[in-house]
Chain A
Amino acid sequence: MSFDIAVTQLFNGVSLFTILLLMALGLAIVFGLMGVINMAHGELMALGAYTTYLTAKFFEEHMPSLMNVYLFFAIALAFGVTFVFGYVLERGFIRWFYNRPLDTLLATWGLSLVLQQTYRSVFGAQEVSVPLATWLSGAWTVSEGIQLPLNRIFIIGLTALVAAGVYLILHKTRLGLRARAVTQNRAMSSAVGIDTNRVDALTFALGSGLAGIAGSVFTMIGSTNPGTGQLYIVDSFIVVVFGGVASLIGTVFSGFAIAQAQTTLEYLMSGSMAKVSILLLVIVVLYFRPNGLFAPKMRS
């Protein structure tokens, strides 16, 4: 393998890693931290993507001069919309299923079907895509043989930002402190005066909002259709489970490991075989470490 190919492979791996991480971050909070299994998480990403699509449409018609920066508004808006949707969802739906994980799974699967059909009825079954800002198209030519697409570089930067943000929220703010307290010991948190219902709703909303950001960013690398969410959901779950639930660091590492392994294997064999190998590998690792790579050592 020549140097150029190695660098390109590494970059592809890092790029896929940031995409996986962006997908899994929201789920790491909702599923990992709160233990809520939300099969409609992918549809929340689709909601973010469709929000971005509508924002792009709006800018195209009313403020074409700002088309180059619409993405920033779109990402913020996608976060806002899915955050509010997540809040309402938790208050009106999810909270009735706490402590019934299998029922949550089936009910949210039902919800995901309803949302998919809603998207199909509203936006049509065909794919929609958004125009890429001019400063994001093209590639950065490092050397003769190495070309790195700008939009991927942008995603890498943005993911780093989002991941840092999530870390700061969870570890440096009151909400984060409360969220972690509630997940560790609900009864005790309640006893010391934390409004656990509110914390649940906000934490779930935060996870949903992250899904919205992910969906919004994915419009830069692919088009969106009503079934988009389903493509992501299983992958996201695998990343979170592999890393070990209740471990944000674990999610980061497992995203990195899976992404590097996948890009390397894709270089060696066909795409579908690579995917199959990864899944089997993950299952084997889970067999030896049932709680994931970074399982917290504490009593439950």
Chain B
Amino acid sequence: MTLVQKHGEAAGHAATAIALLGIIPLALDAFWINLVGKYLAFAFVAIGIVLSWGYCGILSLGQGIFFGIGGYAMAMFLKLEASAPELPDFMVWSSVEQLPLWWEPFKSLGFTLFTILALPIAVAFPFSYAIFRKRVSGVYFAIVTISLALTVNVLLVGSQGETGGANGITDFRTLLGWDILGDGSKRTLYFVEALLLLAVMALAAALVHTRFGKLLIAVRDREDRVRFSGYDTAMIKAFVFSVAAVLSSIGGSLYTLQVGLITPGLIGAVASVEMVIFAAVGGRLSIVGAVLGALLIGFMKSYLSEQFPEFWLFFLGGLFIFVVVVMPNGLAGTLQRLVRFKA
């Protein structure tokens, strides 16, 4: 065993930290930093997918729902602040006279943050525990989640007056009076996001290395044996699915802050499946890989859909096929193989 191999993972985390906190802020201007921040929001989702899909074998095609919970909660708070004391503009356009009751609590930042962290668990845990108890898994779980993503999308688009419909929620610029659109504040936001991401990466890596992490892999590989050994596998799966949901939600709220808008398009079936490819490209078993994948695909998307709009879907579609056929363990897996091969 070489040194690189032994400490490969720690090195990966360290390299990510240096890149995110050192190289990127020094080398790039505010516009690019903001762009990186936007893709990093998806890195949170990708880490969640690595944990639930890579380690525990639960493929959810509905991560967009949780991304939306975080994104919309944050956007609702910002929108209320931006339009106070009047009603948000889109409500006025749809002739909604009074603030809907469920909007009221989002006047408080504390409640909003609480929602971002707690609501995904409140939704994901009971739902997935019930489903896993019934031993619905694999492809069926994927189909159920993708149809839920579709449902939430339809619901958001359909209720124009209360959610902003297809346009989503946008047009806000202050967080507790602090301008979030200026170059300086974008930089601050970026650092907050990067630090949060590094913390999440460390926590996720720690989780994977505990006994519980070994259990996750066991559930993925032979769920029945784990069940026969006396574990409540449904509980294990529901737990990791809830973790993935919270990470998605955090990602969504940061996305809203970075980009300044949230739309139903980010929640639907197509967006939700796209989130899986971040983890797949980076390596479904690698936390560093997930971050790398999110950044890489994000940039490719921006670049290709601007320069060669025709080519983007060919590329994305081809990538799905390529990753499954040639690189089932993604970039990180390929890298690991190379290192081992040379050693």
Contact = CB atoms under 8 A, between A and B. Distances in A.
On whether the two chains bind one another, the answer is yes
Contacts of A97: 324
A107 B89 CA distance: 42
B273 to A, nearest CB: 6
Interface string B32-61: 000000000000000000000000000100
Contact of B131 (A116, A230, A287): A287
Contacts of B10: none
A113 B159 CA distance: 29
A114 B143 contact: no
A180 B146 CA distance: 29
Contacts, number: 104
Given A109-B273, A113-B313, A117-B310, A275 B321 contact: no
B84 to A, nearest CB: 29
A276 B325 CA distance: 36
A106 B151 contact: no
B200 interface: no
Helix, strand, loop or mixed for chain B's interface? helix
B154 A238 contact: no
Contacts of A287: 130-131, 134
Interface stretch (A54-62, A169-177, A278-286): A278-286
Interface residues of A, number: 38
Nearest to B150: A234
B57 to A, nearest CB: 8
Given A230-B270, A270-B158, A279-B151, A106 B135 contact: no
Nearest to A39: B273
A111 interface: yes
A113 B151 contact: no
Report, nearest first, the 3 A-B pairs whose CB atoms are least far apart. Answer: A110-B320, A272-B158, A113-B317
Given A114-B318, A120-B310, 15 more contacts: A106-B280, A106-B320, A110-B316, A110-B319, A113-B317, A114-B314, A117-B312, A117-B313, A238-B143, A272-B155, A273-B158, A283-B144, A283-B148, A287-B130, A290-B136
Interface of A: 37, 96-97, 101-103, 105-107, 109-117, 120-121, 230, 234, 237-238, 241, 270-273, 275-276, 279-280, 282-283, 286-287, 290
Interface of B: 59, 130-131, 134-136, 138-140, 142-144, 146-148, 150-151, 154-155, 157-159, 269-270, 273, 276-277, 280, 310, 312-314, 316-321, 323-325, 328
